[in-house]
Structure 1
Amino acid sequence: MSGQIARQAEAASAADDRVPLTRLHLLAVFVCALGLAVDVAELALGGVLSAVFSAPPHAVSRTELSWLLAAAYAGAVIGAPAFGWLADRHGRRALLFAALVTLALASAAAAASANVGQLALLRLLGGVALGAYPPLMFAYLSELLPPVQRGRLLMVSVAIAGLGPVALVFAVHGLTPLAPLGIEGWRWGFLLGSLGAGLCSLLFLLLPESPYWLARREARACAADAGSRCRPDHVAHLPAGSAPSGPEGAPQGGTAASPSRSRGGLAFVVACFFLTPWAVLGFQVLGGAVLVHHGFSLGDSLLLVGVFTFGPVAGALLGSVVIDRVERRTLVVASAGTLAIVALAFGFARSLPALTASGVAFGVLASALLPAFAVYAAELFPTDQRAGAISCGWAANRVGSALVPIVLLPILDGSGPAVMFAVIAATLVALAVLVAMRGPLGRSGRALG
């Protein structure tokens, strides 16, 4: 029976590659983008908190401030693999809903926190959800969207989400002097984040579960009980590659673009995710410090940093144009290699025009690299491992994010921008070489395995 199922699923693969785009797909992109906007906006509140708790009347010690700022990242390292493991067993939509509800509750409680210790604990809890949501979103949309537009629509969702931090930070800025209802501006930031997460969690109830995950669950039932649930007319409608070809539903054979079940495949994704934040976050966090180091005024530096903040939106939109036109591996290697060159240009630049041009280019390209690799990684694993594998990689990304300022800031202070960006360029070269040598080709425009 399992061989018959496999043959019918293979025969249906061509049709699956041509799934039409529907309003339901667009609704899913919007809802997921809204959730991601809340996620990244909540992380951006770390910058607000660093300012609030560095000045009277809330000034705290450097140790307390460090714990507060690190709490969300520590929670993300815990939450990403835990939620990913659960999503492979209980469904993508259910865990996305749970992550957003957790974030809504944690943010509401953070708004009412009495001291910095309570706030740090609540940021840790919120960080669990913040780390869980992005990889689950990539797994869910990868399995739901039409293959020929999967990459483009995922990048569009990232572009929409990039507006979240800008909107929330400006809202906090405007509410701080007003303190509506006697509530401080930073507390309003958490309340708005809680409201957004709660609203988005309800919208997820309008969306279906991942068809690939449902098909895999049905395939397991077929393997365990070759009864009426394994009717050929039912299995013919399963997503391509979702039916089992062996007693445990593991695909047989494969190509360079096939999903990987080996520990080496997981190690590859974890290593690549760990290498991405050195460029992306290193530029976002330390770009302003580099400009000040070059002797530019604080006003000019902040103006350029403001220009650079639009990089995530522009980068994701640029990525949406090209991501489905070339294979994933080619795109990731080319992006990382180009970024390494631009990183060196920014590090060695001295004039304002050169710093502006190279900084804008670096911000745009760096912001496209992480979501492009996340799309690529989501296609490398079978359905029953996809969410867990990507989430483990995301946890490695959060570990790298926590290490970036710890490692790069002393290099900037001791050796200057050129050396710091040479280190960043080295991580990008390492990423390009690793993907080129170990990475499968990808599944651009094709159904998942």
Structure 2
Amino acid sequence: MSVAYDASIPVTQTPAASSATPADLAARIDRLPTTKSLWKLVALIALGAWFEAYDLFFTGYIAPGLAKSGILTETTQSFFGFAGIGAFVAVTFAGLFIGTFFLGFLSDRYGRRFVFTYALLWYTAAAVIMACQTSTEGLLVWRFIAGIGIGVELITIDAYISEMVPRHMRGRAFAFYSAIAFSSVPIIALLSWQLVPIAPFDIEGWRWVVVIGSVGAIIVWYIRRVVPESPLWLAQNGRGEEADRIVALLESEAIREFGRPLRDPTPSAATVRKVKAGLSEVFRPPYRSRLIMLVVFNLCQVIGYYGFANWVPSLLVAKGIGVTKGLAYAAIIAVANPLGPLLGMTFADRVDRKWVIVGSALVVAMAGAGFSQFTEPGLLIFCGVLITLANTILSYAYHAYQVEMFPTAIRARAGGIAYSSSRFGAIWSGFLIAFFLRDFGATGAFGLITACMLGVVFVIGVFGPSNKEIDSDQRR
């Protein structure tokens, strides 16, 4: 199947095209069985996310190379030192903050497909230019610009997947998408292990790591153009006939695959709120309290997540392990990145996402405490793998969780504001981890990570709504 839709396909088993509303289309999508067509659609979106994750996660793996080249230093003498690795991490997430907070509305206004397609080109071009920089200032400026594109891309993909797959497979879809995206991390780790310590053809290894990812992203940009627009976004914006055709294609593929008619759509028993696509809607009940809860959650989780993911080579070096050996250990730990979401697919739609997040955060806190104390390579790698597995399970769960809470009209905008708080927290995380590493070593850095993950447990465990509570407020 091609996921691009054909306007000549007749509309069957549907209401009249002119009457297609987001609620009607959501009911039709939710009655779809899990088909190969839907998995292919998620896989195509995830191909672009592979390079987005590559670009995001090479931050920590090329850090030793940036320090070795003299463009940046491993540590700084002041908290806000803009010559150190902490600054490189900070500008990455500063760009992500701008992209998610100020530009999240773009996909609500112009469409999911348009925005995630061209955001991919944006950050790819910026990454290539960054790889050519020879000054600290140039490196940080272009890393910031690349981060803006990544931020727009992240929140748009979350909104798109939540609108394109039925509710009964949404958790698995996010886990599958995350598994594909996170499979880039072992590749980054392997490339960094082999390239960062050397300079092939007299070009510093870290530059090769950056450019290699950018070349593939351009190819994926072309492939990704065939995916359809979100039918819920189309219907929300007065393009019900186009939306109807896309859903009709998904329905016809399901009938062809299973050889039987689909059951009738089941309308929601809950009252569907009429929500306008405006910023003021985000701050009205019940979305205001959910947004505040998500902002606090994101501020905590980002330090726990990226405090390890972006700093694992440096954390190993801080424990007295050499750069080359540290990158080798980090490469082994990185293999767990795609395994976490694959493991999560076994329970993604059976366990409430609220408790998946809480459980994952507890594992990170406990394994992090062990990592900070151990020096034996086997135990370090074991704890590192546990942290990575739990972090990646937490990641797919909260990406689905935070966009499910909001209706189509404000999904990207509200989700962007919530997600931007994690980007804002990550700006500080670069300086905080650098500060704790310098003054308190790996033990101090992991003390901070553990405290933040316990904060996640409290905020989500006490204030986070369950999936049943979210579903009772029909908001697709």
Normalising TM by the smaller chain, what interval?
0.7 to 0.9
Matched, 1:309 2:322: no
SS of equivalent to 1:198: helix
Aligned to 1:40: 53
After superposition, the Cα gap between the structure-2 partners of 1:193 and 1:443, relative to the gap in structure 1 and judged at 3 Å, is farther
After superposition, the Cα gap between the structure-2 partners of 1:119 and 1:21, relative to the gap in structure 1 and judged at 3 Å, is same
Aligned to 1:234: none
Where in structure 2 are the equivalents of 1:98-247 lying within 5 Å? 98-113=118-133, 115-168=135-188, 170-171=190-191, 173-174=194-195, 177-179=199-201, 185-218=205-238
Worse-matched range after superposition: 332-341 or 98-107: 332-341
Deviation at 1:35, TM superposition (A): 1.4
**Which residue among 30, 50, 75 is the counterpart of 2:43?**
30
What residue identity is the alignment partner of 1:272? F
What residue identity is the alignment partner of 2:124? A
Matched, 1:332 2:357: yes
Aligned to 2:423: 398
Is 1:50–1:65's contact at 8 Å kept on the other side of the alignment?
A: no
Is 2:61–2:188's contact at 8 Å kept on the other side of the alignment?
A: no
TM-score by length of 1: 0.79
Matched, 1:375 2:388: no
Deviation at 1:51, TM superposition (A): 3.7
Deviation at 1:272, TM superposition (A): 1.2
Q: Deviations over 1:322-346 (max 9, x none)?
A: 1111111122222223433333343
CA–CA distance in 2 between the matches of 1:60 and 1:9?
A: 50
What residue identity is the alignment partner of 1:364? L
Aligned to 1:386: 411
After superposition, the Cα gap between the structure-2 partners of 1:142 and 1:114, relative to the gap in structure 1 and judged at 3 Å, is same
Deviation at 1:54, TM superposition (A): 2.9
CA–CA distance in 2 between the matches of 1:194 and 1:185?
A: 15
Where in structure 2 are the equivalents of 1:285-364 lying within 5 Å? 285-288=310-313, 291=316, 301-349=326-374, 351-364=376-389
CA–CA distance in 2 between the matches of 1:334 and 1:70?
A: 28
Q: Please, which runs of 5 or more residues in structure 2 have no aligned partner?
A: 1-17, 77-81, 242-263, 278-283
After superposition, the Cα gap between the structure-2 partners of 1:291 and 1:72, relative to the gap in structure 1 and judged at 3 Å, is closer
Matched, 1:267 2:292: yes
Deviation at 1:174, TM superposition (A): 5.0
What residue identity is the alignment partner of 1:437? V
CA–CA distance in 2 between the matches of 1:322 and 1:214?
A: 32
After superposition, the Cα gap between the structure-2 partners of 1:247 and 1:408, relative to the gap in structure 1 and judged at 3 Å, is closer
Is 2:179–2:342's contact at 8 Å kept on the other side of the alignment?
A: yes
**Which residue among 80, 85, 95 is the counterpart of 2:115?**
95
What residue identity is the alignment partner of 1:278? I
Q: Please, which runs of 5 or more residues in structure 1 have no aligned partner?
A: 222-236, 251-258
Aligned to 1:75: 95
Is 2:305–2:391's contact at 8 Å kept on the other side of the alignment?
A: yes
CA–CA distance in 2 between the matches of 1:297 and 1:188?
A: 22
What residue identity is the alignment partner of 2:431? I
Aligned to 1:427: 452
After superposition, the Cα gap between the structure-2 partners of 1:102 and 1:240, relative to the gap in structure 1 and judged at 3 Å, is farther
Is 1:72–1:130's contact at 8 Å kept on the other side of the alignment?
A: no
After superposition, the Cα gap between the structure-2 partners of 1:139 and 1:118, relative to the gap in structure 1 and judged at 3 Å, is same
What residue identity is the alignment partner of 2:350? R
CA–CA distance in 2 between the matches of 1:154 and 1:80?
A: 19
CA–CA distance in 2 between the matches of 1:291 and 1:106?
A: 30
Q: Deviations over 1:258-303 (max 9, x none)?
A: x975322212112111111222222234445555555666666544
Aligned-residue sequence identity (percent) comes to: 25
SS of equivalent to 1:206: coil
CA–CA distance in 2 between the matches of 1:12 and 1:48?
A: 44
CA–CA distance in 2 between the matches of 1:7 and 1:105?
A: 39
What residue identity is the alignment partner of 2:292? A
Is 2:337–2:388's contact at 8 Å kept on the other side of the alignment?
A: yes
Q: What do you get for the CA RMSD once the two structures are aligned?
A: 3.9
SS of equivalent to 1:403: helix
What residue identity is the alignment partner of 1:381? F
Worse-matched range after superposition: 45-54 or 22-31: 45-54
TM-score by length of 2: 0.75
CA–CA distance in 2 between the matches of 1:188 and 1:294?
A: 27
CA–CA distance in 2 between the matches of 1:419 and 1:166?
A: 27
What residue identity is the alignment partner of 1:315? G
Q: How many residues align?
A: 419
Deviation at 1:354, TM superposition (A): 4.1
What residue identity is the alignment partner of 1:193? G
Q: Deviations over 1:61-84 (max 9, x none)?
A: 764455555332221111112331
Is 1:149–1:445's contact at 8 Å kept on the other side of the alignment?
A: no
